[in-house]
Amino acid sequence: MTELADKKWYVVRAVSGQEAKIKDYISSEIERLGYSKMVEDILVPMQKIVQIRNGKKISKEKTYFPGYIMIKADLSGEVPHVIKSVTNVIGFLGETKGGEPVPLRAVEVNRMLGKVDELTLATEQINIPFVVGENIKVVDGPFNGFTGAIEKVNEDKRKLEVMVKIFGRKTPLELSYMQVEKL
């Protein structure tokens, strides 16, 4: 077997929510059994998501394809069995019962890896936790402590238009997501 054996991308189905852990298990198992030359890369496509909780930005990574792990490997000999024997691995995507795992086509690989690159370059996405009509409390700024109802949500500017009662009169305020929290 040559050093530059044909390594292709395969997709391993795994228990959703456990992808990173399973990736580590596969890596250590491959390493332990001395097959590291046959496995070039193991990838769990991730996406960075920013959420706002209690007025604070929380950045977290979310699996882009839940339940799937991409592996670039030469699947000859025992390698497929080693990967399949790892706890919480369901099997290879596209394989028929008793058949060989089916590699991804170059187009699919480029699209998936391109998506992964895009996700790392993409500006952080913020989940908009607010909806029109929802009641909120102002937690920052000159109107701290006031409560009101959301009239408009401006996703581009990350601002809310809130109706607040000030001295018995309803007054519209424009507040950023960071200045309010849900009641």
CATH value at residue 178: 2.30.30.30
Res 120: pLDDT: 58
Helices (H), 2-100: 19-32, 79-85
Q: Is residue 106 part of a domain?
A: yes
Average pLDDT over residues 31-51: 87
Kindly report, residue by residue over 101-143, the tens digit of the pLDDT: 888 888 888 777 776 666 555 555 556 678 899 999 998 888 8
Sign of CA dihedral 18, 46, 104, 4: negative
The tokens 């507040």 sit on which residue? 175
Q: What is the pTM of this model?
A: 0.59
Q: Is residue 108 part of a domain?
A: yes
Q: Residue 169 belongs to what domain range?
A: 135-182
Report the DSSP pairing between strands 46-53 and 125-126: parallel
User: Which CATH number covers residue 55?
Assistant: 3.30.70.940
Percent of the chain with pLDDT strictly greater than 70: 88
Which one is predicted more confidently, 52 or 69? Answer: 69
Give the helix/strand (H/E) hosting 27: helix 19-32
| Shared domain check, 164 and 104 | no
Split into its structural domains, the chain has a count of 2
| Shared domain check, 27 and 100 | yes
142: left (phi over 0), alpha (psi -120 to 50) or beta: alpha
